[in-house]
Amino acid sequence: MPEPTFEPLAFREYPPEEMLRRATDLAADLARRRTVRAFSPRPVPRELIETCLRAAATAPSGANQQPWHFVAISDPDLKRRVREAAEAEEREFYARRAPHDWLAALAPLGTDASKPFLETAPYLIAIFAQPHGLSPTGEVVKHYYVSESVGIATGLLIAALHRTGLATLTHTPSPMGFLNELCRRPAYERAFLLLVTGYPAADATVPHITKKPLTEIATFL
Ligand code: IYR
Protein backbone atom coordinates (compact mmCIF):
# COMPACT_ATOMS: atom_id res chain seq x y z
CA MET A 1 0.00 0.00 0.00
CA PRO A 2 1.65 3.32 -1.00
CA GLU A 3 2.06 5.88 1.81
CA PRO A 4 0.03 9.07 1.25
CA THR A 5 2.05 12.21 0.57
CA PHE A 6 0.67 15.66 1.32
CA GLU A 7 1.46 19.15 0.07
CA PRO A 8 0.25 22.62 1.09
CA LEU A 9 -3.19 23.63 -0.25
CA ALA A 10 -3.07 26.49 -2.77
CA PHE A 11 -6.30 28.11 -1.56
CA ARG A 12 -7.31 31.56 -2.76
CA GLU A 13 -9.29 33.66 -0.30
CA TYR A 14 -11.37 36.61 -1.60
CA PRO A 15 -12.83 39.55 0.31
CA PRO A 16 -16.50 38.84 1.20
CA GLU A 17 -17.96 41.35 -1.28
CA GLU A 18 -15.83 39.88 -4.04
CA MET A 19 -17.07 36.40 -3.10
CA LEU A 20 -20.68 37.45 -3.60
CA ARG A 21 -19.82 39.17 -6.88
CA ARG A 22 -18.04 36.08 -8.17
CA ALA A 23 -20.93 33.80 -7.19
CA THR A 24 -23.49 36.18 -8.71
CA ASP A 25 -21.53 36.54 -11.96
CA LEU A 26 -21.17 32.79 -12.36
CA ALA A 27 -24.85 32.13 -11.57
CA ALA A 28 -25.91 34.79 -14.11
CA ASP A 29 -23.58 33.42 -16.78
CA LEU A 30 -24.75 29.83 -16.24
CA ALA A 31 -28.37 31.00 -16.30
CA ARG A 32 -27.77 32.12 -19.90
CA ARG A 33 -26.81 28.58 -20.94
CA ARG A 34 -29.40 26.88 -23.07
CA THR A 35 -29.41 23.45 -24.61
CA VAL A 36 -29.32 24.07 -28.35
CA ARG A 37 -30.60 21.75 -31.07
CA ALA A 38 -29.68 23.75 -34.19
CA PHE A 39 -25.96 24.19 -34.81
CA SER A 40 -23.85 26.17 -37.26
CA PRO A 41 -21.21 24.28 -39.27
CA ARG A 42 -18.73 27.03 -38.32
CA PRO A 43 -15.48 25.37 -37.22
CA VAL A 44 -14.27 25.53 -33.63
CA PRO A 45 -10.52 25.55 -32.88
CA ARG A 46 -9.38 22.22 -31.44
CA GLU A 47 -7.46 24.12 -28.75
CA LEU A 48 -10.75 25.36 -27.24
CA ILE A 49 -12.06 21.80 -26.97
CA GLU A 50 -8.76 20.61 -25.48
CA THR A 51 -8.80 23.39 -22.89
CA CYS A 52 -12.39 22.65 -21.88
CA LEU A 53 -11.53 18.95 -21.57
CA ARG A 54 -8.68 19.92 -19.23
CA ALA A 55 -11.24 21.84 -17.15
CA ALA A 56 -13.54 18.79 -17.08
CA ALA A 57 -10.67 16.53 -16.04
CA THR A 58 -10.18 18.57 -12.83
CA ALA A 59 -13.40 16.99 -11.51
CA PRO A 60 -13.26 15.12 -8.22
CA SER A 61 -13.65 11.36 -8.66
CA GLY A 62 -13.91 8.27 -6.48
CA ALA A 63 -10.39 7.51 -5.16
CA ASN A 64 -9.14 9.99 -7.81
CA GLN A 65 -9.47 7.20 -10.38
CA GLN A 66 -10.74 9.62 -13.05
CA PRO A 67 -12.95 6.94 -14.61
CA TRP A 68 -13.68 8.81 -17.84
CA HIS A 69 -12.57 9.03 -21.42
CA PHE A 70 -13.57 11.76 -23.89
CA VAL A 71 -13.62 11.18 -27.65
CA ALA A 72 -13.84 14.47 -29.60
CA ILE A 73 -15.19 13.67 -33.05
CA SER A 74 -14.78 16.21 -35.87
CA ASP A 75 -14.25 13.87 -38.83
CA PRO A 76 -17.28 14.39 -41.17
CA ASP A 77 -17.48 10.74 -42.17
CA LEU A 78 -17.46 9.57 -38.55
CA LYS A 79 -20.08 12.19 -37.61
CA ARG A 80 -22.29 10.86 -40.42
CA ARG A 81 -21.94 7.31 -39.09
CA VAL A 82 -22.76 8.49 -35.56
CA ARG A 83 -25.84 10.27 -36.91
CA GLU A 84 -27.02 7.21 -38.83
CA ALA A 85 -26.61 4.92 -35.82
CA ALA A 86 -28.16 7.40 -33.37
CA GLU A 87 -31.16 8.07 -35.63
CA ALA A 88 -31.77 4.34 -36.02
CA GLU A 89 -31.94 4.00 -32.21
CA GLU A 90 -34.00 7.16 -31.87
CA ARG A 91 -36.57 6.00 -34.44
CA GLU A 92 -37.06 2.86 -32.35
CA PHE A 93 -37.26 4.98 -29.20
CA TYR A 94 -39.87 7.43 -30.47
CA ALA A 95 -41.92 4.84 -32.40
CA ARG A 96 -41.79 1.88 -30.04
CA ARG A 97 -39.58 1.90 -26.96
CA ALA A 98 -40.59 5.12 -25.26
CA PRO A 99 -43.53 4.76 -22.87
CA HIS A 100 -46.33 7.29 -23.37
CA ASP A 101 -45.53 9.22 -20.21
CA TRP A 102 -41.91 9.64 -21.34
CA LEU A 103 -43.06 11.02 -24.70
CA ALA A 104 -45.44 13.32 -22.83
CA ALA A 105 -42.54 14.62 -20.69
CA LEU A 106 -40.54 15.33 -23.88
CA ALA A 107 -43.39 17.02 -25.76
CA PRO A 108 -42.59 20.58 -24.50
CA LEU A 109 -39.05 20.21 -25.90
CA GLY A 110 -40.21 19.43 -29.43
CA THR A 111 -37.65 16.66 -29.96
CA ASP A 112 -37.96 13.86 -32.50
CA ALA A 113 -35.84 11.10 -34.06
CA SER A 114 -34.21 13.39 -36.63
CA LYS A 115 -30.73 14.46 -35.48
CA PRO A 116 -29.15 16.59 -38.27
CA PHE A 117 -27.04 18.42 -35.66
CA LEU A 118 -24.93 15.28 -35.32
CA GLU A 119 -23.48 16.14 -38.73
CA THR A 120 -23.72 19.94 -38.65
CA ALA A 121 -21.96 20.61 -35.35
CA PRO A 122 -18.16 20.75 -35.63
CA TYR A 123 -17.56 18.55 -32.56
CA LEU A 124 -19.34 15.59 -30.99
CA ILE A 125 -17.76 14.79 -27.64
CA ALA A 126 -18.54 11.20 -26.68
CA ILE A 127 -18.06 10.68 -22.95
CA PHE A 128 -17.27 7.17 -21.73
CA ALA A 129 -17.40 5.86 -18.17
CA GLN A 130 -14.90 3.23 -17.08
CA PRO A 131 -16.38 0.80 -14.48
CA HIS A 132 -12.83 -0.42 -14.07
CA GLY A 133 -9.34 0.45 -15.22
CA LEU A 134 -6.35 -1.67 -16.12
CA SER A 135 -3.09 -1.67 -14.17
CA PRO A 136 0.18 -1.38 -16.13
CA THR A 137 0.36 -5.19 -15.95
CA GLY A 138 -3.16 -5.58 -17.34
CA GLU A 139 -4.97 -6.37 -14.07
CA VAL A 140 -8.53 -5.14 -13.57
CA VAL A 141 -8.70 -2.25 -11.07
CA LYS A 142 -12.24 -1.59 -9.79
CA HIS A 143 -13.43 2.04 -9.99
CA TYR A 144 -15.67 3.61 -7.35
CA TYR A 145 -18.57 6.07 -7.75
CA VAL A 146 -18.25 5.92 -11.53
CA SER A 147 -21.58 7.57 -12.47
CA GLU A 148 -21.14 10.31 -9.89
CA SER A 149 -17.59 11.03 -11.06
CA VAL A 150 -18.41 11.07 -14.77
CA GLY A 151 -21.55 13.13 -14.12
CA ILE A 152 -19.53 15.75 -12.26
CA ALA A 153 -16.87 15.87 -15.01
CA THR A 154 -19.59 16.23 -17.63
CA GLY A 155 -21.15 19.11 -15.69
CA LEU A 156 -17.81 20.88 -15.54
CA LEU A 157 -17.34 20.30 -19.27
CA ILE A 158 -20.74 21.77 -20.10
CA ALA A 159 -19.99 24.81 -17.90
CA ALA A 160 -16.51 25.22 -19.43
CA LEU A 161 -17.82 25.07 -23.00
CA HIS A 162 -20.55 27.57 -22.16
CA ARG A 163 -18.10 29.92 -20.50
CA THR A 164 -15.87 29.62 -23.56
CA GLY A 165 -18.75 30.86 -25.73
CA LEU A 166 -19.88 27.60 -27.27
CA ALA A 167 -23.29 25.95 -27.27
CA THR A 168 -23.94 22.34 -26.32
CA LEU A 169 -26.62 19.71 -26.50
CA THR A 170 -26.56 16.82 -24.05
CA HIS A 171 -27.66 14.02 -26.34
CA THR A 172 -28.41 10.55 -25.03
CA PRO A 173 -29.31 8.20 -27.86
CA SER A 174 -30.40 5.05 -26.13
CA PRO A 175 -28.90 2.50 -26.18
CA MET A 176 -25.50 4.04 -26.95
CA GLY A 177 -23.50 0.85 -27.39
CA PHE A 178 -22.78 1.75 -31.04
CA LEU A 179 -20.45 4.51 -29.83
CA ASN A 180 -17.89 2.01 -28.51
CA GLU A 181 -17.24 0.64 -31.97
CA LEU A 182 -17.36 3.98 -33.79
CA CYS A 183 -15.07 5.62 -31.20
CA ARG A 184 -12.81 2.56 -30.97
CA ARG A 185 -13.27 2.24 -27.22
CA PRO A 186 -13.07 -1.11 -25.38
CA ALA A 187 -16.33 -2.99 -24.78
CA TYR A 188 -16.05 -2.62 -20.99
CA GLU A 189 -16.38 1.19 -21.21
CA ARG A 190 -19.94 2.53 -21.04
CA ALA A 191 -20.98 5.39 -23.32
CA PHE A 192 -22.34 8.00 -20.90
CA LEU A 193 -23.54 10.72 -23.24
CA LEU A 194 -22.77 12.60 -26.41
CA LEU A 195 -22.10 16.32 -26.01
CA VAL A 196 -22.86 18.07 -29.30
CA THR A 197 -20.69 21.21 -29.38
CA GLY A 198 -20.33 24.26 -31.59
CA TYR A 199 -21.80 27.64 -32.42
CA PRO A 200 -25.58 27.77 -32.51
CA ALA A 201 -27.26 28.22 -35.91
CA ALA A 202 -27.99 31.91 -36.58
CA ASP A 203 -31.73 31.18 -36.48
CA ALA A 204 -31.63 28.77 -33.51
CA THR A 205 -34.66 28.86 -31.26
CA VAL A 206 -35.09 27.21 -27.87
CA PRO A 207 -38.23 26.07 -26.07
CA HIS A 208 -39.69 28.47 -23.54
CA ILE A 209 -38.93 26.74 -20.27
CA THR A 210 -38.21 27.94 -16.74
CA LYS A 211 -36.00 26.66 -13.96
CA LYS A 212 -37.45 25.86 -10.53
CA PRO A 213 -37.03 28.64 -7.97
CA LEU A 214 -34.55 28.27 -5.12
CA THR A 215 -37.35 27.80 -2.59
CA GLU A 216 -38.43 24.66 -4.43
CA ILE A 217 -35.02 23.13 -5.00
CA ALA A 218 -33.28 23.95 -1.74
CA THR A 219 -33.95 23.64 1.98
CA PHE A 220 -31.86 25.30 4.67
CA LEU A 221 -32.07 23.62 8.06
N1 IYR B 1 -32.73 10.62 -26.42
C2 IYR B 1 -33.90 11.13 -27.12
C3 IYR B 1 -35.00 11.52 -26.21
C4 IYR B 1 -34.76 12.59 -25.22
C5 IYR B 1 -34.81 12.28 -23.87
C6 IYR B 1 -34.71 13.25 -22.92
I7 IYR B 1 -34.94 12.74 -20.95
C8 IYR B 1 -34.51 14.60 -23.29
O9 IYR B 1 -34.40 15.59 -22.33
C10 IYR B 1 -34.45 14.93 -24.65
C11 IYR B 1 -34.57 13.90 -25.60
C12 IYR B 1 -33.50 12.30 -28.05
O13 IYR B 1 -32.35 12.74 -27.98
O14 IYR B 1 -34.32 12.77 -28.82
Q: Per DSSP, what are the bridge partners of residue 71?
A: 126
Ligand 1 centroid from CA 9, angstroms = 41
Q: Evaluate if pTM is beyond 0.85.
A: yes
**Beta pairing, strands 123-129 & 140-142:** unpaired
- Which of 93, 106, 178 gets mutated to test ligand 1 (max ligand atoms within 8 A of its CB)? 106
Mean local confidence (pLDDT), 65-87: 98
**Is residue 8 in some structural domain?**
no
User: What's the CA-to-centroid distance between 111 and ligand 1, angstroms?
Assistant: 7
64 inside domain: yes
- pLDDT per position as a tens digit, 15-61: 999 999 999 999 999 999 999 999 999 999 999 999 999 999 999 99
Contact status, residue 58 vs residue 49, Cβ threshold 8 Å: no
Q: Does any domain span residue 186?
A: yes
Tell me the one-letter amino acid at 112.
D
- Residue 114 has a CB neighbour count (10 Å cut-off) of 12
Best residue for ligand 1 mutational test, from 117, 168, 172, 196 (most atoms within 8 Å of Cβ): 172
Assigned domain for 76 exists: yes
Closest ligand 1 atom to 113 CA: 14
How many structural domains comprise the chain? 1
CA of 155 to the centre of ligand 1 (A): 17
Q: Would residue 1 count as lying in a domain? A: no
Q: Which helix (H) or strand (E) holds 150?
A: helix 146-164
CA-to-CA separations, 85 to 57, 138, 144, 148, 175, in angstroms, rounded: 28, 32, 31, 27, 10
What domain range includes position 91?
A: 37-217
Q: Flag whether 97 is in a domain.
A: yes
* Residue (of 174, 171, 196, 172) closest to 93 by Cα position: 174
Task: Give the list of residues 6+ apart from residue 204 with CB closer than 8 angstroms, or none.
Answer: 36, 37, 38, 39, 167
Mean pLDDT of the chain: 97
174 pLDDT more than 90? no
Q: Is the pLDDT of residue 2 over 90?
A: no
Pocket of ligand 1 (CB under 6 A): 90, 93, 106, 109, 111, 171-174
Shortest-distance atom of ligand 1 to CA 105: 7
Residue 24 inside a domain? The answer is no
**pLDDT above 90 as % of the chain:** 96
CATH code (residue 53): 3.40.109.10
